[in-house]
Each structure stands twice: as structure tokens, then as C-alpha cells.
Amino acid sequence: MKAATLILVFGFRLCCFAVDDTYILAAGNWSKPASDLLGYALRGRLLLCESPKDKGTAVYLELQECSEMWGGCLDVYCNLEPSVALGGHPDAQGRKRVEKAAAIWELRDASGKLVPQSPGGFGGGAPGASWVSMPSDSTVRLRASVYGGGRLEDGSLSIFFLSNHWVIPPRSTNDYYLSCIFTVDPPKNQVALPEHHVWQGTLVLPKMKIPVQRP
């Protein structure tokens, strides 16, 4: 009886630990599931979290496998690098080389107006392109903003992607909402492993309200 009680208490502690994510500062709603031609589906949402590595504030992309069928594993090509159009410069064959951005970010205020980007540069590291394998009914959280920025000494918040940069002042009386359209377009030569499926599609991630330090 004591052993059963200990197992129940231990299991309860694990559940509480998993649910109580103290690193999340803000969260957007889950997107509508996006299915590919074979019915494999993903959904996603935006998170503003305190990084467990350095306590900095960063934007994360959370993905969840939500296909109706069970089993198997989705291979998702997460390209968080900005795809600069290279000014339409031609490639070696003389064709214009223009790449579409995998993540298109927008920051709007309470009235729905686009917030102008802030000046500034960044010379540190940032998330790149990588394959993520997602078993059935799994969730993965990926960092989207650069390895820097975040909450600054004056209390302002720097939201910094390699393709976009905004600074929200600490005593702003406005509200700010971050949204993203995330496209998964894997390399054409990728061959899936047995019991794996290469997923392709677009997620329209709902806006996330950014917390602002009020006066």
C-alpha cells in the first residue's frame, strides 16, 4: 500500500512539474492545424519565454503534431534563417536567385498598425535551418529570435530576428502583438527514413500580446 501511495505521489509531482512552465512570459493561441496531401498535420503557436540557459527574454516557435492517424514520425524542416532575396542577383546559370522567407514576422499595435522596425545591428549567433523529427502526438519548442537582445537594461524589450528588429519602450501605453506566417518547404532531395514522413505546409500563427512594463 505504501509503495502504491509513493508511486501516486511521485506521478503527481511529475505532472505538476510538466504543467507549471515558469519560463513562459506570454503565449499566443494555437494555430489551426495544417495538413499536407497525405493528411499529416501540424499546428503551432508563438511563445515569449525566459531562456533557461541565460535568463534572457526570447521568442520561441512551438510545434505540435496533431494528425488524425497515430504512429510514425514527421520530419519537419525548420528554417529560421532569413531568406534574403540577394537583390535578385543571378546564380551561376544566369537565373535570378530569389528565395522566399520561411518566417514572415509582423508586429502591430493596438490599432492594428504595423510597428516600424528599429535601427540596430547584430553580430552574434542565431537559429538556423535544421530537421526536427516529431513522433506522433509530440510537441517541440524552437528558439526563433537571435541569441541576444531580450530585456535591456532600461527595461525596454528588444525583439530581434535576423530579418526584423523592434524595440518596445519600457513605459509605453500602447499594446503590441507579434504574429508570424511560417512556411515549411523542405529540400526536394530529402528521402524519409522508414516510418517517417517529410511534412510540407504553412502555419498561420495567431498574434501574441507582448507584455510591456507599464509606468
User: Residue range 173-193: average pLDDT?
Assistant: 83
pTM score > 0.75 for this model? yes
Q: What is the pLDDT of residue 64?
A: 93
Half-sphere exposure of 119 (CA within 13 A, CB side): 0
Least-confidence region, from 35-49, 81-95, 106-120:
81-95
Q: How confident is the model at residue 84 (pLDDT cuts 50, 70, 90)?
A: very low
- Span 146-156, pLDDT tens digits: 787 677 777 77
pLDDT score of 120: 67
| In the predicted structure, residue 192 carries a pLDDT above the cut 80 | no
Q: What is the pLDDT of residue 43?
A: 94
The rounded distance, in Å, linking the Cα atoms of 81 and 87 is 17
> One-letter amino acid identity for 39?
G
More confident residue, 50 or 4: 50
| 58, three cell numbers | 526570447
Q: Residue 79: what residue type?
A: N
If you average pLDDT over residues 24-36, what whole number do you get?
Answer: 91
> Percent of the chain scored above 90 by pLDDT?
15
